[in-house]
Amino acid sequence: MKTIRYIIQKEFKQIFRNKGMLPIIFVLPLLQLVILSNAATFEIKNIKFSYIDNDNTSFSRALIDKFEASTYFNVVSNFPSEKIASSAMLKGDVDVILEIPNNFERDLVKDKKTNLSVIINAIDGATAGVENVYINQIVQGFNKNALVELMQPSVPIAIGITNKPKSISSITSFWYNETLNYKTFMVPGILVLLVTMITLFLAGMNIVREKEIGTLEQINVTPIKKHQFIIGKLFPFWIIGFGLLTIGLIISKVIFDTPIVGSLGLIYFYTAFYLLVILGMGLFISNFTDTQQQAMFIAWFFVVIFILMSGLFTPIESMPMWAQYLTEFNPIKYFVEVMRMVMLKGADFTDILPQLLKTLGYAIIMNGLAVWSYKKTS
């Protein structure tokens, strides 16, 4: 126990004396959280909207005004012909082209029926889908107004992509994130990344560094026990992991006003086990590498896979089956789930028990491997 204390003391001194490392530990996470949470958005805004108005009547202008009024669309151009519009889309100057046909108003009034043509740049299929929904909503809204204006409410007038105005309206209520604020969704996840990446890199590189400078050999010649060395080495990073989590939680509360519905204690309790997985992984990597560079590359390789397969940016449910099975081995996935569940839904201990148990199992295996592969004698 005493021996461990001496190692911990030494580690903390070294960490806080390393002027290059301190900003990495305390400033980068802050920046990361602030920048990523604001930038990594799934909301589709500022859609570059253009139109070809072949009708040029009060009706067609009213429709275009609707788009202008929308916060999602920026009306960037009014094209005289479809040819010019297409070339603008090819260049990427516009995302959406709405073409209003000749006699739009006349057909609408006379036949109660007309057509609109909408062209959407669908290179990014998901974005195109969302844009389509937005356009439909606006056209539908216009449709309803037109009905009223034409004073013939009994006869449905349908234009555009939808055929009939809806007679059944649904009222949607959004749970856990009422305002559909994507930051509320992203912040807990990015917090996970931050805690994971920094503790993994710091812990992994720390031990390899001792290999590089030759002090590890000196340590191996002392009667120090394997477990003493490992605990002494990893404990400071366990604490730093908590420090990062705390900084992150404060930032998410103060800057993003992210709700923390569940218990903070539960978050810390889970994190305690989660950090063990990450630290074990760091140690494991450092046992198989000789330089900080190698350790960094390997750690980076795993982190990238873990992040992309964590459900943070893309839902796990939409991954192919084999990939979904793979995510079972991804500790970041569990932490993201737990954070979102506890922070946003107020999940309690029994709710996160499955994740907790899997994390615990992971921690035991990872640290077992790490201790086994750390050899004082080569």
Partner 1 sequence: MVSNNIIQVENLTKAFGDFTAVNAISFEVKKGEIFGFLGANGAGKTTAMKMLIGISRPTSGKATVAGFDVYKNPDAIKKNIGYMSQKFALYDDLTVKENITFYGGIYGLSRKQIKEKTNQLLEELGLQKIVGELVGSLPLGWKQKLSFSVALLHEPKIVFLDEPTGGVDPITRRQFWEMIYKTAHNGTTIFVTTHYMDEAEYCDRVSIMVDGKIEALDTPKKLKEQFKAKTMNDVFLKLARG
Q: Can you give the binding site for partner 1, defined by CB under 8 A?
A: 2-3, 5-7, 9-10, 13-14, 17-18, 213-215, 217-225, 376-378
Q: Helix crossing, 349-373 with 226-254: angle to 10°? A: 140
Residue 52, beta-bridge partner list? 99
Closest CA to 202 of 20, 10, 352, 41: 20
User: Cβ 237 to partner 1, closest distance in Å?
Assistant: 17
Give dist(CA 79, CA 52) in Å, integer: 5
Task: State the DSSP code for 42.
Answer: -
User: Cβ 222 to partner 1, closest distance in Å?
Assistant: 5
Give dist(CA 245, CA 231) in Å, integer: 21
Identity of the residue, 3 or 74, whose beta carbon is nearer to partner 1 in the bound complex: 3
User: Cβ 208 to partner 1, closest distance in Å?
Assistant: 15
Q: Helix crossing, 226-254 with 182-213: angle to 10°? A: 150
Identity of the residue, 124 or 290, whose beta carbon is nearer to partner 1 in the bound complex: 290
Identity of the residue, 223 or 315, whose beta carbon is nearer to partner 1 in the bound complex: 223
Residue 65, beta-bridge partner list? none
CB 211, CB 292: distance < 8 Å:
no
Tokens describing residue 295: 């350790």
User: Cβ 12 to partner 1, closest distance in Å?
Assistant: 11
Identity of the residue, 3 or 132, whose beta carbon is nearer to partner 1 in the bound complex: 3
Identity of the residue, 14 or 327, whose beta carbon is nearer to partner 1 in the bound complex: 14
Give dist(CA 136, CA 162) in Å, integer: 7
User: Cβ 276 to partner 1, closest distance in Å?
Assistant: 23
